[in-house]
Amino acid sequence: MTNKPDILLIYTGGTIGMVKDYKTNALKAFDFSQIVEKIPELQQLNCNISTISFKEPIDSSNMDINYYIEIAETIANNYEKFDGFVILTGSDTMSYISSAISFMFENLQKPVIFTGSQLPIGDFRTDAKENLVTSIEIASAKENNEPIVKEVGLYFEYKLYRANRTTKISAEQFEAFTSMNYPPLVKSGVHLNFNKMILLNPTSEKQELIFRKNLVNDIVVLKLFPGITEKVVKAIISIPNLKGIILETYGTGNAPTKNWFLHLLEEAINKGIHIVNVTQCTGGSVLMGHYETSINLKRIGIINGKDITTESAIAKMMYLLGQNLPKDDFKTYFETSLRGEIN
């Protein structure tokens, strides 16, 4: 007879934690210490649930690296006491936050599941209850007394995705997220179906959790569009103290071949700014050198983002910039899968 898993529920803010005051019709923050009383279905789960709530719930639009660190520190400080973690945040920036958390932990051997909802937990038609109950069930799932999931995931509308593979695609549908370049880790139906072949499987040797909280956010996303001007690109590259650029290119990593454009990018690289090529497409991969329009990007030393999402590329860049790596090492690490974020 094994002990019931201990799950820590961390509420940071977001729609999922709101209930309606029927006297005023205003939304107010839900008291998560009363979670089991409010959602009796949780009593049917084979686990013990503890809760921690941020003193002031954070709207997802106000998330920044200080909150990333606060979330990660809460997990790190409670890592030995709990078997799994469920993090509730606003869905708008959930892919960014969860991607960042995935890079901040090395040797993670327990589930960290992010979830939220499109409707408040108190609404009649809410998606919050299913997302919450199933996230806790997944975080509790064990096999041979070991967690089945040992990575950072994002659960929404019957699917658990690898967090650093996700993108929010709808502000209205309950199926708010997708992962175009990597299949779901778990599908929820009558049973939970774990796709064990594609789960991250850290070494069976127990290794100490390493928590790296030095994130550098002196970066920018430069999205190309037909007709982008030299003046605009020059202004972005000239931002003081800029350390990294996520360059959102067309298709398989294609960009203008105009001399001024290539010259500005090369100038930035020579100044020590790291530039990563990611595709604007929701799915697919950058293939630098596949077309003539990306051969020069490869020649001047732009980093190949492969099939990484923009959200994950931002998180990975913040993380790697915080490690003070030499230029060549930075490129090597970025083009290598560290947490299953690229194929």
Are the C-beta atoms of residues 13 and 57 closer than 8 Å to each other? Answer: yes
Give the model's pLDDT for residue 160: 98
Q: What is the pLDDT of residue 1?
A: 44
pLDDT of residue 203: 67
For residue 255, with 0-12 CB atoms within 10 Å meaning exposed, 13-18 middle and 19 or more buried, which class applies? buried
Q: Are 160 and 153 in contact (CB under 8 A)?
A: yes
- Rounded to whole angstroms, the Cα distance separating 334 from 331 reads 5
User: What pTM was computed for the model?
Assistant: 0.94
H/E stretch holding 6: strand 6-11
Q: What is the pLDDT of residue 47?
A: 94
Q: Are 12 and 67 in contact (CB under 8 A)?
A: yes
The domains of the chain, with CATH numbers, are 6-211 (3.40.50.1170), 219-334 (3.40.50.40)
Which residues are catalytic, by number?
Answer: 15
Indicate the helix (H) or strand (E) that contains 117.
none
* Nearest C-alpha neighbor of 49 from the set 63, 35, 60, 59: 35
Compute how many other C-beta atoms are within 10 angstroms of the C-beta atom of residue 99.
Answer: 32
Task: Compute mean pLDDT per 10 residues along the chain, 343 residues long, and list them.
Answer: 86 84 75 75 90 89 95 98 97 97 97 94 85 96 95 97 97 92 96 96 80 97 97 98 98 95 97 97 91 88 97 98 96 98 95
Q: Can you tell me the distance from the alpha carbon of 236 to that of 246, in angstroms, rounded to the nearest whole number?
A: 11
The pLDDT value given to residue 310:
98
What is the Cα–Cα distance from 130 to 117, expressed in whole angstroms?
A: 9
Give me the pLDDT at residue 302, please: 97
Where do we find the tokens 């799950």?
7
- Tokens read off for 188: 């929820």
